[in-house]
Structure formats: structure tokens, C-alpha cells
Amino acid sequence: MADILVAEVQDLRAGYGEIQVLWGIDLAVPAGEITALIGSNGAGKTTLMRALSGLIPAQCTRYRTDGVDLAGATAAQIIAQGIVHVPEGRRLFGAMSVEDNLLMGAYSRNIRRADLRRDLDRVYSTFPKLRERRGQAAATLSGGEQQMCAIGRGLMAAPRLLMIDELSLGLSPLLVEQLVAALRELNSQGMSILLVEQDVTVALELCHSAYVMDMGRIVRTGQGHQLLADPIIRDAYLGVP
């Protein structure tokens, strides 16, 4: 499984108008694994996820998923290939119910009602809280439940790679633990995950491998447990020698 790359990028450059943010990113995300992106504020992690989702224009010499060429593809084409982005800040439709938000994730899929129901049930079994609250407006959910709903909406798009930006931002340690457990479960069922996470300990304990970004470049990469023990990483991101 690990030989298959669910996302493979070479020399990716992107930014906002005249401002270049990413300066030649090489990334290989193995299928079936959790890969983390860490780095200080402004390092370019969100920008990289936006570029991979086709939300901002990017140049690269290669962008592929499992052999399929995605260089220059639109956001819709990228989602159709199963690269699905759960954005920072969750971006739910606050006035709509939890279930309608989840169904929005499947909007572009042409599937039968029974399959939609089966996928909803899968999301509800991963996040039982969402089943309890399925008729409630999304805006009335707690922060952790909103994150569950945003991830659930991503799952409804049938991802091959689920990209989650800022999993734990603003959430209590208990909720973070629940979300981490849910991601481990999804991964054990085969889901590939690319995670941006500002809590470096959470990220490195959860992931198989990680990329460290600084000023729009990848400056280090390795297995999670190796980076967790790396004195440079500990000093720079964990505040301990």
C-alpha cells in the first residue's frame, strides 16, 4: 500500500497575486498513511493545502494522485479525483442542519440515495454526536462538533486523500483526543490523511511521517517518532531541548 502515492508534488510554487509564498515544494503522501505538515505561523501550510485543492493557482513540474495527472486541474476536477480539503475555520453553512451540511459534501457525486444513506451512516458511526444532532443548525454546535461536521462533510465527498487544516485549533484537550481517535480509526480503515496541525506533539504522535515547513519551503522530513525525538525540532517547535 505504502508504494502508492495518493499525492505527489514536485517543485510546487504558489502565492497570492504578486506575493510568492511557496518556493518549490516536493511532497509525497503515501496511500494509507497519516502525513503531517508542521511549521510556524505563516510558514505556508494553509497555502500548500489551497494549492493542492486547486483553490489558488500553482505551478509545478508534477502533481499526481495514484498515477493520475492533476497539474493544472480545477478545484472540481481535484475533488472528483478524491483530494478533499477540510478548511481551517470549518466553513459550515451555519443555518443549515448538520445532515444537510454533510449532504453538501456529496453534492458533486452522482450516487444513488441508498449509497448516500450508507455513507451518512458511516459518518454517524465515526461521529455518533453528529447523529444525535443531525437536525440541529450547524451554527448551534460546539467547536468540536463543528470540526466533526466539517470532517464528516469531507468524508461524504468519498476522499482518497482527506486534507485537514488545523484539526485542534480552539478545542479542549478532551475533544482533541476524540478527534485524534476518530482519525486513527478512519486511517485504520484505509483512509489517507494529510494533516496541518499547530500542536506539534499531537501531529507527530499521530502521523506516520511529517514535513516541516519554514518560509514557504520544506526544511525537514521524517517519521513522526523520529522528529519527535529530534533535538532541533524539540527546540524549535516544542520549546524543550
Contact residues: ligand ATP, CB under 6 A: 16, 19, 21, 39, 41-47, 198
In the bound complex, what is the minimum distance in angstroms from residue 82's beta carbon to ligand ATP?
23
In the bound complex, what is the minimum distance in angstroms from residue 72's beta carbon to ligand ATP?
21
In the bound complex, what is the minimum distance in angstroms from residue 185's beta carbon to ligand ATP?
26
Cα angle vertex 101, ends 97, 103, to 5°?
115
Q: Is 163 helix (H, G, I), strand (E, B) or coil?
A: strand
DSSP string spanning 225-236?
HHHHT-HHHIII
In the bound complex, what is the minimum distance in angstroms from residue 88's beta carbon to ligand ATP?
6
| Closer to ligand ATP by Cβ: residue 44 or 105 | 44
Whether the CB-CB separation of 202 and 232 falls below 8 Å is answered with: no
- The C-alpha cell of 200 is what? 506539534
Q: 191: closest CA among 149, 230, 162?
A: 162
Question: What whole-number distance in Å separates Cα of residue 93 and Cα of residue 72?
Answer: 29
| Closer to ligand ATP by Cβ: residue 158 or 236 | 236
| Closer to ligand ATP by Cβ: residue 43 or 206 | 43
| Closer to ligand ATP by Cβ: residue 21 or 200 | 21
Strand partners, 1: none
Q: 31: closest CA among 71, 67, 2?
A: 2
| Closer to ligand ATP by Cβ: residue 136 or 198 | 198
Whether the CB-CB separation of 83 and 160 falls below 8 Å is answered with: yes
In the bound complex, what is the minimum distance in angstroms from residue 83's beta carbon to ligand ATP?
17
